[in-house]
Amino acid sequence: MSNVLILLGPPGAGKGTQAVRLSAALSLPHVSTGDLFRENLGKGTALGQRAKGFMDAGQLVPDELVIDMLFDRVSHSDCGAGYLLDGFPRTVAQAVALDARLGATKARAINLVVADSILVGRLTGRWTCKQCGNIHHERTSPPAKRGLCDKCGGQLFQRSDDTVEVASKRLAVYHTQTKPVEDHYGKRGQRFDVDGSQAPDQVFAAMLQWAKQGAH
C-alpha cells in the first residue's frame, strides 16, 4: 500500500514551504497542481493557456482539467510508493475522484490552519526560486542576497497572482469551494490540524511527527 499525504490549507498557509521540507524528510515526491500549471504555462502548452485565465482571476481551474493532469503526474514511476499532494484536492469532486483512484489506500490530510488576516501579507511578500522551488518572504524569511535563493543561488520571482486583489479573491474561493474538503477527511478521522501561524520550524516538527506516526 502506498503512502499518500495531502497538504490542505488556504493560499499562503505554508503548503509549498512545508512540502519542500516534508518531501525531503519522507522521501516522497512533491506534487503541486499549482506548480504543474505554472510549468505548463512556461512551456506554452494548451493546458497552460487554458488554466491561465482562471489562475489570473484567482478562480479554480475546472475539475476535469486538474484531475486529468494530476492523475497523469502520479502515474509516473517515482510516485509508485506514494507522494505528497500540495494544492489538490481543492473541491469535494476532486477528493471523491482521488478516493476512487486510490481504492484501498487511505490518503491522510495535514491541514494548515492560519487566520485570513495574515495570509494576504504572506502572499504579497513571497519570493519563489525558479530553480528549486524554495520559498522566501521579503520580511519573515528574506534571502541573504537580494533576488537570489539561499538554498541554490537561483533567481527568485514573484508570482503574478500574488497581488492584493487576486490573493483576496483566492482566499474567498478557498472559503466557498475548498473548506468543505477539510470535512471530507475530518469526518473519517484522516485529518490532522496544525497551527500554521507558528514559526516554520515548529510547523514542520508537528507535521513530521504526525506523518511518521501513521506511515504505512
- The listed partner (ligand AP5, Mg ion, Zn ion, none) that binds 143, CB under 5 to 8 Å by sort, is none
Closest CA to 7 of 83, 78, 81, 75: 83
Residue 9 as a binder of Mg ion (CB under 5 A): the answer is no
Greatest extent of the chain over all pairs of C-alpha atoms, in Å: 47
Q: Is 126 labeled as catalytic in the residue annotation?
A: yes
Q: Is 170 labeled as catalytic in the residue annotation?
A: yes
Q: How many of the chain's residues bind Zn ion (CB under 5 A)?
A: 8
Residue holding cell 500554521?
Answer: 196
Count of CB atoms situated within 10 Å of the CB of 134: 21
Per CB under 5 A, the segment of 48-56, 67-75, 113-121, 149-157 that binds Zn ion is 149-157
- The listed partner (Mg ion, ligand AP5, Zn ion, none) that binds 61, CB under 5 to 8 Å by sort, is ligand AP5
Strands (E), the chain: 3-8, 30-32, 82-86, 108-113, 126-129, 135-137, 156-157, 191-195
- The listed partner (Mg ion, Zn ion, ligand AP5, none) that binds 186, CB under 5 to 8 Å by sort, is none
- CB closer to ligand AP5, 27 vs 202: 202
Angle between helices 179-186 and 92-102 (to 10 degrees): 40
Query: One symbol per residue from 107 to 126: x for binding Mg ion (CB under 5 A), - otherwise; what is it?
Result: --------------------
- The listed partner (ligand AP5, Mg ion, Zn ion, none) that binds 13, CB under 5 to 8 Å by sort, is ligand AP5
Residue 156 as a binder of Zn ion (CB under 5 A): the answer is no
Per CB under 5 A, the segment of 15-23, 47-55, 65-73, 184-192 that binds Mg ion is 15-23
Q: Is 159 labeled as catalytic in the residue annotation?
A: yes
Q: Is 90 labeled as catalytic in the residue annotation?
A: yes
CA atoms of 62 and 155, how far apart (whole Å): 31
Contacts for 33 with CB less than 8 Å, ≥ 6 apart:
66, 69, 70, 85, 86, 87, 88, 90
CA atoms of 196 and 172, how far apart (whole Å): 19
CA atoms of 30 and 18, how far apart (whole Å): 10
**For residues 143-172, which are near Mg ion according to CB under 5 A?**
none
Residues carrying an active site annotation: 15, 90, 126, 159, 170
Residues within the interface to Zn ion (CB under 5 A) = 129, 131-132, 134, 149, 151-152, 154
